Structure 1
Amino acid sequence: MTDTALIARLIDRLLVPRIGHPPGNWPRRVYEVIQRMAEAAGTDPVQLLNRALAGESTRLGDALVDAATVGHTSFFRHAEQFAELRARLPAIASKRRRPLKVWCAACSTGEEAYSVALAAEQAGVAIEILATDVNPVAIQIARVGHYHSTRPGRVPGGPASRSWNAPPHLKERIAFAVASIVEPDALLGPFDVIFCRNVLIYFDREDVAEILATLSELLRPDGMLIISPADAVLPIPSCLARTSAAGFLKPSGEAPMSARWVLPNRPATLRPPVSVGAIPVVAPQSPSEPPLVRAARLLGAGDPSGAELVLTELLNRDPGHISGWFLLGEALLQRDERAQARAVFLRASRCDPSRAEDVDGEALRRAALSRATALGA
């Protein structure tokens, strides 16, 4: 076995139990971190990884989790979902005699959790939030709660705001913790609302329905599980039902599968990396991956240009693909091309919703129209 192949296997052993899913390839930055830390320690990458696996140091593991996870996030990401949340929270709260319990799974650096807290405050609803991520570096940033943007209006505080500090009364409502969505047994459910957005797209399709079924077991019978528009292209288990709002799921009344989802025993399907110097560069994604899923992965990773290329090719073949038009609008919006995004969302709203696959086409059509209207305001 070559050193490159051995390093890949050692990374699998170190990271898969912590992250919960083996990707098709580990990002280049994972190998760069290993190389840099090995040189600093005066050893080689294989010895460094073996030491980490032996429990001699947690620093390498934390650094690799940080390098392997996608931290692309923002305040009030998918704004129409937060508008829907504000509208629905009071009805749920009216049935409770206590603050609503919310879990923000895969919360990254905390922007989503603080957005949920602000939305609940705007709705006049008392709330308690558990926000988790596998990345301890991201969780530490979230706990500090200080955010700065080079562009105005990207943080709370108004259109001219460039920085924001989470106020103490919001911090008191949020408990940040390091945890994985595939090991939820230790979490204190059940929850009234679970956010699990822009993360499912990184798991194998055959595992997504099982993960969602496991999450549904932590949801109250009248609760909501919220996924992102990109995640909505993935399969939904029968124990959950789509609603009129894109990405909002509710318990269907059917019992979830009895078997809890566990980490798969199958090995990661890593393609052989090609070596450039001491750092391997991974091969591109398999062309057999469905274009919509590939585009959603690129969007979730903060690569709207790459997603646009994939979606343009898809829409040239199938001009009536409503999910393709919707995700293209998302890609253009990430690039801040608002006029073009509005035109694309309008195009999505005119597509035949009955042609949508694995998604509520009518809900997606309404979401596209809502976004186009907001962009025209």
Structure 2
Amino acid sequence: MRQADFEYLAKFLKERSGLVLTPNKEYLIESRLLPIARDNGFEDIEGLVGAMRPGAVALLEQVTEAMTTNESFFFRDKTPFEMFEKVILPHLLDSRSGTKRFRIWCAAASTGQEPYSLAMQMKEMGHKLANWRQEIIGTDLSADVLRRAKLGKYTQFEVQRGLPIQLLVKYFKQIGHDWEISPDIRSMVQYRKLNLLEEFSALGQFDVVFCRNVLIYFDQQTKAQVLERIAKQLAPDGFLVLGAAETVIGITKAFKPLKGCRGLYVPAEADVSKLERAAVA
């Protein structure tokens, strides 16, 4: 690959998606973009980049989606979902008892396994959430993965990754070789196309934000900017859930970690004493 083409793609993807590509990632570009190039009639990356430079919208979208990692599976990493049930939900049930309403945002929701996992978790609580209004918003940069998320159809391999068998039997229907999630669960989640690098205040305020395994692809400045904008969208006593390899420490002062809760953060001014007692109980 020509150095000029690598530099163009690295700059384009950084501006478009926040993805930081170092020179040792040329193999990644070639493995993901050569099929795109050939599907569009180009022999190599040089031809693809040449067609991208004038700003061919459809081609720019294809390249962005091909380079964006969309790895996801049900109840991924388990701990965040345990914290959701043990710490987050009890707090919301207590603090929102007057309005009986809360909102959850799953940023970088990919093909929907994370928001659907949360929806199933809440469905399993039954009477505790009776007469409550729960809203789950899933967003992603990729229109393709959002189409899949809205369909709620998964392969045998996908439902075997992290999904307990009892939930598969209870909330999915087998159709041919695939599994389709029940309309009840699907209706609990709304999906929207959204780029975390762009303005997202129109989404409104949330009580919980899951933003897992996406910040690791950003540089420090971009991480700080995204986190500080998320802080503006979060309730004063809300929660931010990050991936196991992510942190706010040394990046922003808008959040602080919740002791005893790996990957769980709260606004800097939040009173955490009661929450930390719940976490160790």
After TM superposition, is the score higher than 0.5? yes
Q: CA deviation at 1:218?
A: 0.8
Q: CA deviation at 1:57?
A: 4.3
Partner secondary structure for residue 147 of structure 2: helix
Distance 2:56 2:160 in 1: 44
Please name the residue that 1:102 is paired with: 104
1:105–1:133 CA contact under 8 A, matched in 2: yes
Distance 1:113 1:32 in 2: 30
Query: Are 2:209 and 1:209 aligned?
Result: no
* TM-score, with length taken from structure 2: 0.77
Q: CA deviation at 1:251?
A: 0.8
- Higher relative contact order, chain-length normalized (CA < 8 Å, sep 6+): 2
Q: CA deviation at 1:152?
A: 4.3
Query: Are 2:176 and 1:169 aligned?
Result: no
Distance 1:160 1:120, change over 3 A: closer
Partner amino acid, structure 2, of 1:74: F
Q: CA deviation at 1:219?
A: 0.4
The more displaced of 97-106 and 207-216 is 207-216
Partner secondary structure for residue 49 of structure 2: helix
Superposition pairs for residues 122-137 of structure 1, below 5 Å? Answer: 122-123=124-125, 124-125=128-129, 126-137=133-144
Please name the residue that 1:86 is paired with: 85
Distance 1:248 1:184, change over 3 A: farther
Query: Are 2:137 and 1:138 aligned?
Result: no
Structure with the higher fraction of residues in strand conformation = 2
For structure 2, the 5+ residue unaligned runs are 271-275
Query: Are 2:240 and 1:225 aligned?
Result: yes
Q: In the comparison of the two structures, how many residue pairs are matched?
A: 255
Please name the residue that 2:27 is paired with: 28
1:49-101 Cα deviation digits (max 9, x unpaired): 3433434341x333322321222221111212212212321431443325311
Distance 1:160 1:43 in 2: 43
CA RMSD between the two structures: 3.1
Please name the residue that 2:69 is paired with: 70
Partner secondary structure for residue 265 of structure 2: strand
Partner secondary structure for residue 235 of structure 2: strand
Please name the residue that 1:197 is paired with: 212
For structure 1, the 5+ residue unaligned runs are 255-362, 368-377
Distance 1:233 1:95 in 2: 25
1:206-265 Cα deviation digits (max 9, x unpaired): 5433432221111000100111221138535222111131111111229xxxxxxxxxxx
1:139–1:178 CA contact under 8 A, matched in 2: yes
Query: Are 2:258 and 1:251 aligned?
Result: no
Please name the residue that 2:273 is paired with: none
Partner secondary structure for residue 238 of structure 1: coil
Query: Are 2:197 and 1:182 aligned?
Result: yes
Of 114, 119, 138, which residue of structure 2 is paired with 1:117? 119
Partner secondary structure for residue 232 of structure 1: coil
Please name the residue that 1:158 is paired with: 166
1:110–1:145 CA contact under 8 A, matched in 2: yes
Distance 1:63 1:29, change over 3 A: farther
Partner amino acid, structure 1, of 2:210: F
Distance 1:43 1:208, change over 3 A: closer
1:86-123 Cα deviation digits (max 9, x unpaired): 23214314433253111111112111111111222233
Provide the identity percentage.
Answer: 26
Distance 1:72 1:48, change over 3 A: closer
Distance 1:220 1:240, change over 3 A: same
Distance 2:78 2:227 in 1: 23
Distance 1:182 1:4 in 2: 28
Distance 1:239 1:248, change over 3 A: same
1:129–1:174 CA contact under 8 A, matched in 2: yes
Partner amino acid, structure 2, of 1:130: I
Distance 2:28 2:37 in 1: 14
2:32–2:67 CA contact under 8 A, matched in 1: no
Partner secondary structure for residue 238 of structure 2: strand
1:131–1:176 CA contact under 8 A, matched in 2: yes
1:150-202 Cα deviation digits (max 9, x unpaired): 38474354288696422212222212122122224354121100001111122
Partner secondary structure for residue 208 of structure 1: helix
